[in-house]
């Protein structure tokens, strides 16, 4: 990957955001409160924008780095299964993830929420974010992963199973020979699809990169159908019997558009970056996570079991507020797990003031 021309130092693919082990969490939370007095909400939200480029090598006005999802990834923040209290929310595409200032993601998500759900729900998104960060900041380190999952869903295992089933129900034609519904796959990707070739060889490569139990499971299935589009994305339907199928989705790993804002990878590949983040940050386990390169060797892809995506049903204001709060919760959990949760919690505080400031910042932009 080419390095950015900005003054921001390039990142090694193994460099996560720096989370201090000392002073204590309580002391770092106090430091966060002090930082809020030095850099208020309005100043922080106005100073960090997606187009700030290489103007500074600072991590941002508040100095708190997290794994970023980025402008392109915000639209992928969505329920991946179910509705209401049983929903699992996660990022379905993390190709843009790099360490950078938390403010970038928050402002981008708030703009997304305001555009799709009305500006009135931005404070709800901010409240979900603040509560998630505070919850993880006060949880013991050894319990943070479990705590994050518990906050995202009340029945993780059941919902994971339902997620795969829901994806199949929407995208697969039932019958003696199951096939993919081209029209629904095209709608899912918002792009035309074509028949994929050479999938068997790439699937063999994929099996070599997954855990042995997963490889053994996959070996009992054969390719029933596969489609792709010009970006290199793949959807592969594996079948053992007409009603015994697995749906795998492979997403190409490309250079992130965030380079101009937060730097570039210095070593390693785009694929290593994507796999690192998928392994370290998802709120739900990345089922069947693996990787391949295309037969031509020009496309590297990260594979996982396909998940259901929302149908986009219209909801009333109460429903939009709940959804916005859930979006904020997921972003807060990801930031708190990857950055300095205690300092960020101290900065955000315990009142609705952050939500009001975020709503005002979005309204001005």
Q: Is this prediction's pTM over 0.85?
A: no
> What is the share, in percent, of the chain residues with pLDDT greater than 90?
36
The reported pLDDT for the residue numbered 30 is 95
More confident residue, 7 or 6: 7
The reported pLDDT for the residue numbered 270 is 86
Q: Residue 102: which pLDDT band, with cuts at 50, 70 and 90?
A: very high
Classified as helix, coil or strand, 52 is: coil
Token pair listed for 358:
């975020």
Mean pLDDT of 137-162: 58
pLDDT mean across residues, the chain: 81
Instruction: Report CA Rg, the chain.
Output: 21
Q: Residue 5: which pLDDT band, with cuts at 50, 70 and 90?
A: very low
Residues 6+ away with beta carbon under 8 Å from 353: 41
**Whether pLDDT at 54 is above 90:** no
Classified as helix, coil or strand, 163 is: helix
Determine the length of the chain: 365
**Whether pLDDT at 157 is above 60:** no
**Whether pLDDT at 183 is above 60:** yes
Mean pLDDT of 271-280: 82
Q: Residue 49: which pLDDT band, with cuts at 50, 70 and 90?
A: low
DSSP output for 309-364: --------HHHHHHHHHHHHHHHHHHHHHHTTHHHHHHHH-SSTHHHHHHHHHHHH
pLDDT in tens, 197-249: 889 999 999 999 999 999 999 999 999 999 999 989 999 999 998 889 999 99
The reported pLDDT for the residue numbered 142 is 62
pLDDT in tens, 185-196: 999 888 999 999
pLDDT in tens, 297-310: 888 999 998 887 76
State how far the Cα of 354 lies from the Cα of 357, in Å rounded to an integer.
Answer: 5
């Amino acid at each position: 990957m080419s390095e950015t021309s900005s003054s921001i130092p390039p990142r090694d693919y193994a460099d996560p955001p720096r989370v201090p082990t000392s002073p204590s969490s309580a002391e770092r939370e106090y430091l966060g409160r002090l930082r809020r007095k030095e850099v208020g909400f309005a100043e922080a939200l106005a100073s960090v924008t997606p187009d700030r480029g290489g103007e500074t090598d600072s991590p941002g006005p508040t100095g708190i780095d997290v794994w970023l999802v980025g402008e392109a990834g915000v639209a992928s923040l969505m329920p991946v299964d179910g509705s209401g209290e049983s929903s699992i929310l996660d990022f379905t595409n993390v190709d843009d993830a790099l360490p950078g200032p938390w403010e970038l993601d928050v402002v981008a998500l708030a703009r997304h929420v305001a555009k799709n759900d009305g500006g009135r729900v931005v404070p709800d998104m901010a409240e979900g974010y603040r509560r998630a960060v505070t919850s993880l900041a006060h949880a013991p380190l050894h319990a943070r992963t479990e705590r994050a999952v518990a906050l995202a869903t009340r029945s993780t295992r059941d919902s994971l199973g339902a997620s795969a089933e829901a994806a199949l129900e929407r995208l697969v034609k039932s019958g003696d020979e199951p096939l993919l519904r081209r029209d629904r796959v095209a709608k899912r990707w918002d792009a035309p699809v074509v028949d994929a070739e050479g999938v068997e060889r790439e699937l063999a490569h994929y099996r070599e990169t997954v855990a042995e139990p997963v490889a053994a499971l996959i070996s009992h299935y054969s390719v029933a159908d596969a489609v792709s589009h010009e970006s290199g994305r793949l959807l592969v339907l594996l079948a053992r019997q007409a009603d015994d199928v697995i749906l795998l989705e492979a997403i190409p790993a490309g250079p992130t558009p965030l380079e101009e804002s937060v730097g570039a990878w210095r070593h390693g590949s785009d694929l290593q970056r994507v796999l690192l983040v998928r392994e370290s940050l998802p709120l739900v386990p990345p089922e069947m996570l693996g990787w391949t390169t295309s037969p031509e060797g020009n496309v590297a892809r990260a594979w996982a079991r396909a998940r259901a995506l929302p149908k986009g049903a219209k909801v009333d204001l109460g429903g939009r507020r709940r959804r916005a709060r859930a979006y904020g919760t997921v972003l807060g959990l990801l930031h708190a797990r990857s950055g300095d949760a205690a300092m960020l919690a101290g900065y955000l505080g315990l009142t609705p003031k952050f939500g009001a400031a975020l709503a005002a910042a979005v309204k001005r932009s």
